[in-house]
A and B are shown apart, each in its own frame.
Chain A
């Protein structure tokens, strides 16, 4: 199976604890060194990505200097546009909401050994479904009833869409990476088909869109902030999914399947159901992101839904090593990057693709850094016997 990373990380976390009791002796048995050892073992998963980020930053700085821009200006603008003021930080949190959700859409299938990159399509279709069910209800059904129905529509359509890629993987062995991406293009085409045709708002000549759902039907802000509830939903889902994946039978079975498919089959685990469930959870997360984009930001469904959140989510999930909890801070970091994009464009005269270049660079360097795991003695808690 591909994407062995999660499985390997699990194995190497467990291995030292099991081995330690044998040769370690009394010094290792004390509680303090136990914690220290655990910290040392897990610090590898922080240190290497941090190192990769540093390398990417250096490379990007060289790139900026080569085109005659100052890297310090760049950092300054990101700070100001993304984190420096309460306004910009709240904007960042708002932008990170869909990123958390689309990253979860990559992380959950990755745990079961699938690389699903269909989050963008599920987001677009989920958002479109939410808008499509809302339009006939606006004015007749009160908002407190409409919004949950919209959310359910978005989640259900997203779950079906990515669930389809999971089902095809299990039932027909169709490569899920390619099929989920094809489904993204098909999803965007379906939305365009309706938005330019049957469901088009004819009063809006500028951009083909559905009818607006109206201010009364929009999702509000978290009290005391300027951040919509999507951020709360993302963080809550990240915590719940972290618990589900690490503390429940379902999560354990999924990780066993991702680690070793044959062992899972031999154990009689319902592999097909697990794969489809994980894919559906992923799609549900992305569909929810689409619902919030429509109900909290755009107010209608149109081509702006395909803003690339799904693709940035892939990067975030890999950076978080597919751990739902780690996704949250990294998504906020990237939310800041996205939020500062406009400022970078205006102040530094750089094209909007600059953020894309930086993201691609981080992604490439990060994946390259996978090769460094297990190479540094400093992270090793027990002496590994010579393997030859």
Chain B
């Protein structure tokens, strides 16, 4: 019993690291977008398109890192589309997000059909667990470099938002568009750029799904990770570093089902699969309030109004 509990915990550790990486990228990207006062609900579609493009690019070029880059470009393309449409007057950014989610998913499924069968070169992992004689622990600590890239991006973004001129501009636009305009900042341009960069990061997160874990391209690859990441930003109170911690928590929740399965507990597999969604909902209930808007929320965010 004790050893199987150990296996579950180790599997959950490894699972948390693996499952959290796409969450992290999408959440950090969405964090930047929301800091500028715009919501992009379409990141679910961006994630799926990124996964498909990353896989296809890796297959054709033979280089998985080129795949990651291509996925980012595809994601930024969708983000730019969202950013451009939302700057038009009277257009609702939440509704456009839903539309972009359908559009991105549709395009990915359409062009991704030929890539379901072939195997593309995957991203390698860093065997951080090589020192351990425990095979389970060693495999759990096979960490993909993108995990660290994500953490570094989050730290860099958190620092830049606080300490640079650019960060100040983004925060001003997000807290008061009127003040930003008075300072001579182009609100539309800033939001367009943050949405584009947010899309790039979400696309990279998608590439992780298809090129590392689970590591193949199919139509059921993403099931709401992009949306959960949006909820996760609210939970992380619009702070990129807290986004990373929240992503790890979500990754752990997502790893419960597969970890239990690895020791032969298959009962309730679907129930545990729902754990991240239930956790997200529970966190949203716990952190929201009908009377005041969430702490640290950018003032221009449509969700708050």
| Residues of A near any B CB (own CB < 8 A) | 1-5, 8, 115, 117, 168, 170-175, 177-179, 181-183, 185-186, 189-190, 192-193, 196-197, 311, 314-315, 318, 351-354, 356-361, 363-364, 366-368, 370-371, 373
Q: What is the CA–CA distance of A314 and B94 in the complex, to the nearest angstrom?
A: 12
Q: How close is A180's CB to chain B, nearest CB, in angstroms? A: 10
Q: How close is B118's CB to chain A, nearest CB, in angstroms? A: 16
Question: B218 at the A/B interface (Cβ < 8 Å)?
Answer: no
- Tell which of B88, B105, B269, B293 touches A360, judged by Cβ atoms closer than 8 Å: B105
Q: What is the CA–CA distance of A304 and B268 in the complex, to the nearest angstrom?
A: 21
Decide: B267 and A197 in contact? CB cutoff 8 A. Answer: yes
- Report if A186-B274 is in contact (Cβ < 8 Å); known contacts: A2-B305, A181-B227, A360-B107: yes
- Tell which of A3, A168, A175 touches B92, judged by Cβ atoms closer than 8 Å: A3
Q: What is the CA–CA distance of A318 and B97 in the complex, to the nearest angstrom?
A: 13
List, in ascending order, chain B residues with CB within 8 A of A356's CB: 102, 105-106, 109-110
Other than the given A8-B90, A193-B271, A363-B98, 19 more pairs (CB < 8 A) read A2-B303, A173-B289, A175-B303, A178-B284, A179-B281, A182-B231, A182-B284, A186-B277, A189-B273, A314-B98, A352-B109, A354-B110, A356-B109, A359-B106, A360-B99, A360-B106, A363-B99, A364-B103, A368-B88
List, in ascending order, chain B residues with CB within 8 A of A314's CB: 98
Decide: B274 and A364 in contact? CB cutoff 8 A. Answer: no
Q: What is the CA–CA distance of A354 and B107 in the complex, to the nearest angstrom?
A: 8
The 9 A-B residue pairs whose C-beta atoms are closest, nearest first, are: A360-B103, A356-B106, A353-B109, A189-B274, A363-B99, A371-B88, A357-B106, A193-B270, A360-B102
Decide: A2 and B94 in contact? CB cutoff 8 A. Answer: yes
What is the chain B residue whose CB lies nearest that of A195? B270
Q: What is the CA–CA distance of A177 and B96 in the complex, to the nearest angstrom?
A: 13
List, in ascending order, chain A residues with CB within 8 A of B109's CB: 351-353, 356
Interface of A is mostly: helix
Q: List 8 A-B contacts (CB under 8 A).
A: A1-B305, A2-B303, A2-B305, A4-B92, A189-B271, A360-B99, A367-B92, A368-B91
Decide: A182 and B281 in contact? CB cutoff 8 A. Answer: yes
List, in ascending order, chain B residues with CB within 8 A of A178's CB: 41, 227, 230-231, 284
Question: What is the size category of the interface that chain B forms with chain A?
Answer: 35 or more
Q: How close is B297's CB to chain A, nearest CB, in angstroms? A: 11
- Report if A357-B107 is in contact (Cβ < 8 Å); known contacts: A172-B285, A177-B94, A193-B271: yes
Decide: B102 and A363 in contact? CB cutoff 8 A. Answer: yes
Query: B239-262: which residues lie under 8 A (CB-CB) from chain A?
Result: none
Decide: B90 and A370 in contact? CB cutoff 8 A. Answer: yes
Q: Which of A3, A189, A196, A351 gathers most chain B CB within 10 Å?
A: A189
Question: B302 at the A/B interface (Cβ < 8 Å)?
Answer: yes
Interface of B is mostly: helix
Decide: B274 and A190 in contact? CB cutoff 8 A. Answer: yes
List, in ascending order, chain A residues with CB within 8 A of B139's CB: none
Decide: A2 and B268 in contact? CB cutoff 8 A. Answer: no
Question: B119 at the A/B interface (Cβ < 8 Å)?
Answer: no
List, in ascending order, chain A residues with CB within 8 A of B234's CB: 175
Question: B89 at the A/B interface (Cβ < 8 Å)?
Answer: yes
Q: What is the CA–CA distance of A318 and B25 in the complex, to the nearest angstrom?
A: 31
Q: What is the CA–CA distance of A5 and B92 in the complex, to the nearest angstrom?
A: 9
Query: B264-296: which residues lie under 8 A (CB-CB) from chain A?
Result: 267-271, 273-274, 277-278, 280-281, 284-285, 288-291, 293
List, in ascending order, chain B residues with CB within 8 A of A3's CB: 92, 94-95
Question: B149 at the A/B interface (Cβ < 8 Å)?
Answer: no
List, in ascending order, chain A residues with CB within 8 A of B284's CB: 168, 174-175, 178-179, 182
Q: How close is B266's CB to chain A, nearest CB, in angstroms? A: 10
Question: B104 at the A/B interface (Cβ < 8 Å)?
Answer: yes
Q: What is the CA–CA distance of A196 and B234 in the complex, to the nearest angstrom?
A: 34
Decide: B106 and A186 in contact? CB cutoff 8 A. Answer: no
List, in ascending order, chain B residues with CB within 8 A of A371's CB: 88-91
Q: What is the CA–CA distance of A115 and B96 in the complex, to the nearest angstrom?
A: 12
Q: What is the CA–CA distance of A367 and B293 in the complex, to the nearest angstrom?
A: 27
Q: What is the CA–CA distance of A367 and B90 in the complex, to the nearest angstrom?
A: 9
List, in ascending order, chain A residues with CB within 8 A of B88's CB: 368, 370-371
What is the chain A residue whose CB lies nearest that of B95? A367
Q: How close is A7's CB to chain B, nearest CB, in angstroms? A: 12
Q: What is the CA–CA distance of A185 and B279 in the complex, to the nearest angstrom?
A: 12
List, in ascending order, chain B residues with CB within 8 A of A174's CB: 281, 284-285, 288
List, in ascending order, chain B residues with CB within 8 A of A318's CB: 95
List, in ascending order, chain B residues with CB within 8 A of A311's CB: 102
Q: What is the CA–CA distance of A311 and B227 in the complex, to the nearest angstrom?
A: 15
Query: B178-230: which residues lie under 8 A (CB-CB) from chain A?
Result: 223-224, 227-228, 230
- Report if A367-B91 is in contact (Cβ < 8 Å); known contacts: A172-B290, A178-B231: yes
List, in ascending order, chain B residues with CB within 8 A of A8's CB: 90
List, in ascending order, chain A residues with CB within 8 A of B100's CB: 360, 364
What is the chain A residue whose CB lies nearest that of B275? A189
- Report if A364-B85 is in contact (Cβ < 8 Å); known contacts: A182-B228, A353-B113, A356-B102: yes
Q: How close is A23's CB to chain B, nearest CB, in angstroms? A: 27
List, in ascending order, chain B residues with CB within 8 A of A5's CB: 92
Q: How close is B135's CB to chain A, nearest CB, in angstroms? A: 30
Decide: A359 and B288 in contact? CB cutoff 8 A. Answer: no
List, in ascending order, chain B residues with CB within 8 A of A364's CB: 81, 85, 96, 99-100, 103
Decide: A177 and B41 in contact? CB cutoff 8 A. Answer: yes
Indicate with 1 or 0, residue by residue over B122-135, a CB within 8 angstroms of chain A CB atoms. 00000000000000
Decide: B102 and A2 in contact? CB cutoff 8 A. Answer: no
List, in ascending order, chain B residues with CB within 8 A of A358's CB: 106
List, in ascending order, chain A residues with CB within 8 A of B223's CB: 185
Q: How close is A263's CB to chain B, nearest CB, in angstroms? A: 15
Indicate with 1 or 0, residue by residue over B73-97, a CB within 8 angstroms of chain A CB atoms. 0000000010001001111101110
Q: What is the CA–CA distance of A177 and B230 in the complex, to the nearest angstrom?
A: 11
List, in ascending order, chain B residues with CB within 8 A of A181's CB: 224, 227
